[in-house]
Structure 1
Amino acid sequence: MRKQLCDALVARSRRPDMVFLTGDLGFMALEPLQDAMNDRFINAGVAEQNMVSVAAAMAREGLDAWVYSIAPFCYARPFEQIRNDVAFHNLPVKLIGNGGGYGYGVMGPTHHAIEDYGVLLSLPNMSAFIPAFDEDVEAVLDRAGGAQKPAYIRLGRGEIPKGYAVPTYAPWRQLLQGDGKTVVVAGPLVGTYLAALEALPQSSRPNLWVVTELPLDGNSPPPEFIAQLASGRGVCVVEEHVRRGGLGAELALFMLGKGIHPGAFQHLYARAHHYASYGSQNFLRAQSGLDVPSLLAALSKHDS
């Protein structure tokens, strides 16, 4: 998604008030943005705490401030500055974290961003955007950039089947229809499931949804989704994020508050930072039970 990010930011950089700060990252990807912005493109160096505080000060002065780093360096290292300088003052700084989830797999647990949006959504005024497809990035930047409050944008990589026509962006999108359970996925992980779920017979094919904006109190589920939950056929939430603080927890609280009884509730999530072996993002997803066979097994578990 970095190319789409760069293209969208280059278009936005026509605004003279936009500033972009990077923590010494973005090489071989963001050079067109640097060329377009000149002095407004700032390499803050390996000093993420300072970078966030500087961005907060710029936003306080009325500038359109964007901050970029790999995901763990974007939210974990400067968390106190995000909390104190950005969130507490409700400053519209936009944090862009690349490689969300297990995106930097072989680099180990220090580089896994599997608690990122849950941690940040615990702060006041914060919202999170998790684009599912490359084609979502431009719309996500427009929506995040148009909001006068802080936001975190978690970038991954588009993983759709060849030839798949990506639907127009919306915070909630139904990608498949069927007579089975309801499956709701956060972000780009959904692309890995499309082909396998579409191949299921109508009777067991799930109603597949993707969610790209949190929290739910600012992004209510659509009536069609709520009706599917209320059918009692069961719901399965899938996210490359730890169990606490993520989409699964948000949806469970939403249903409890609305008195919705979906039947079986299943949650597939990132189970650990450490495993016995290091590996790629796909390897770590399989270890956590987020791969296609694990989802298919979960969907069939209560069908008999």
Structure 2
Amino acid sequence: MRKQLCDALVARSANPEMVFLTGDLGFMALEPLQAAMGPRFINAGVAEQNMVSVAAALAQQQFQVWAYSIAPFVYARPFEQIRNDICFHNLPVKLIGNGGGYGYGVMGPTHHAIEDYGVMLALPNMSVYAPVFDEDMEAVIDRASAAQRPCYIRMGRGEPPKGYGIPAYAPWRQLTRGQGAVVIAVGPLAGIYIEAFEQLPIARRPNLWAVAELPIERSPIPAELLAQIESATCLCVAEEHVQRGGFGSELLLHLASRQLAVRGFRHLYARAHHFERYGSQAYLRRQSGLDVSSMLAALEAA
């Protein structure tokens, strides 16, 4: 998604009030943005706490501020500055974290971002964007730019099946249709299930939805999805995020507040930061039971 991010920001870079800060990252990807923005493209160095405080100060002066780094370096390392300097003052700083979930899997647990949106949504005023496909980035940048509040953009890598027609961006999108379970996946993880679900007979094929914006109260669940949940015998949530503080618990609390009963709930989530071995994102998804085979087995057992 970095190329699409760069293209979307370059298209906005003529705005003299736009400022982009990077924590010494983005090489071989963001050079076009650097060239377009000149001195408004600031390498803040390996000093993320300072970068976030500077971003807050610039936003206080009415600049449109974007701050970029590898995901754990943009939300975990400067957490106090995000809370105190940005969120407590409701400043519209846009934090961009690359490699959400196990995106930097081979680099080990320090680079895993599997508690990120749970942590961010615990703060006041924060909105989270988890684009599903690479093609979503332009719309996400537009929506985050228009939001008059802090935002965290969780970037990954779009993983649709070959030849798949990407649907227009929306906070909630139905990607497969059938008469089976309801499956809701957060961000790019949704893409890995499409092909396997489409190959199932319609009587067993899940209604697969992808969610790209949180919290739920700012992006209401579509009426069609609520109706499907009410009639389904199984609701499954899949997220590349730890269980505690994740989307699954937020969804269940929201449904309970609407007095909507859920039957046969299944939750697939990131099981751990540490495993016996490190490996690719796909390997770590298998270790967590987030891969396609694990999903199909969970649905079969429902």
TM-score, reference length from structure 2: 0.99
> In the alignment, what sits opposite 1:158?
158
What is the count of residue pairs matched by the alignment? 302
SS at match of 2:203: coil
Deviations 1:199-250 (A, max 9, x none): 0000000000000000001111000000011104210000000001111011
Deviations 1:75-110 (A, max 9, x none): 000000000000000000000000000000010001
Of 230-239 and 14-23, deviating more is: 230-239
* Aligned residue runs from structure 1 range 1-304, under 5 A: 1-302=1-302
SS at match of 1:149: coil
SS at match of 1:19: strand
2-side partners of 1:152 and 1:123: how far apart? Answer: 11
Q: Is the Cα contact below 8 Å between 1:101 and 1:241 reproduced in 2?
A: yes
Question: How large is the RMSD of aligned CA atoms in angstroms?
Answer: 0.5
The amino acid that maps onto 2:151 is A
Q: Is the Cα contact below 8 Å between 1:232 and 1:261 reproduced in 2?
A: no
Structure 1: gaps spanning 5 or more residues = none
Identity over the aligned pairs, expressed in percent? Answer: 68
Deviations 1:51-90 (A, max 9, x none): 0000000000000000000000000000000000000000
2-side partners of 1:130 and 1:38: how far apart? Answer: 28
2-side partners of 1:144 and 1:250: how far apart? Answer: 21
Structure 2: gaps spanning 5 or more residues = none
SS at match of 1:39: helix
2-side partners of 1:12 and 1:79: how far apart? Answer: 28
2-side partners of 1:271 and 1:38: how far apart? Answer: 43
1:290 shift after superposition? 0.3
Q: Is the Cα contact below 8 Å between 2:121 and 2:128 reproduced in 1?
A: yes
The amino acid that maps onto 2:267 is H
**Structure 1 moving runs of 4+ over 3 Å:** none
1-side partners of 2:246 and 2:277: how far apart? Answer: 25
1:262 shift after superposition? 2.3
2-side partners of 1:119 and 1:132: how far apart? Answer: 20
Deviations 1:152-186 (A, max 9, x none): 00000011111000000000001111000100000
The amino acid that maps onto 1:293 is S
The amino acid that maps onto 1:288 is S
Deviations 1:2-42 (A, max 9, x none): 00000000011111100000000000000000000000000
TM-score, reference length from structure 1: 0.99
2-side partners of 1:262 and 1:203: how far apart? Answer: 20
Of 257-266 and 56-65, deviating more is: 257-266
SS at match of 2:97: strand
2-side partners of 1:65 and 1:104: how far apart? Answer: 25
2-side partners of 1:35 and 1:186: how far apart? Answer: 34
Q: Is the Cα contact below 8 Å between 2:130 and 2:212 reproduced in 1?
A: yes
Deviations 1:98-130 (A, max 9, x none): 000000001000100000000000000001000
1-side partners of 2:287 and 2:106: how far apart? Answer: 13
2-side partners of 1:58 and 1:246: how far apart? Answer: 31
1-side partners of 2:244 and 2:16: how far apart? Answer: 40
The amino acid that maps onto 1:258 is R
1:298 shift after superposition? 0.5
